[in-house]
Amino acid sequence: MRELCRRKDVEIINAESCPDHIHMYVSIPPKLCISSFMGYLKGKSTLIIFERHSNLKYKYGNRVFWCTGYYVSTVGNNKTAVYRYVENQLKEDMMTEQITIKEYRDPFKGGK
């Protein structure tokens, strides 16, 4: 991601990689269209990931690796709040995952 952002003069301010998604706080130059940059980032990173980890090609058929959507927002006066949000995402996701752990045994019957 760093290399792809560097090629487009996009500054990564903060980023957090979670098991199934990525949060990035970036500064995109005004000359770039956000949707074009996201298409570039997701498309090129998919090719790089499949090149480095060829076993994933079979797991994710038709070269579909990232979901089709993304969320973008402008920061304005909330720079520190957004920075903290991205920084704490992995910890918050782990806490949420612990809360939603499925029980594989029926606690009332003692079986599966």
51-84 residue pLDDT tens:
888 777 777 666 567 777 888 877 777 778 777 8
40 counts as catalytic: no
Asked if pLDDT for residue 7 goes beyond 80, the answer is yes
**Phi, psi (rounded to 5 degrees) for 30:** -60, -20
Checking if the pLDDT of 88 tops 70, the result is yes
From the candidates 70, 71, 85, 104, which is the catalytic residue? 85
CATH of domain 2-99: 3.30.70.1290
Note if the pTM is more than 0.75.
no
3 state SS for 48-96: HHHHHCCCHHHHCHHHCCCCCCCCCCCCHHHHHHHHHHHHCHHHHHHHH
- Residue 94's pLDDT is 65
- Summary mean pLDDT of the chain: 78
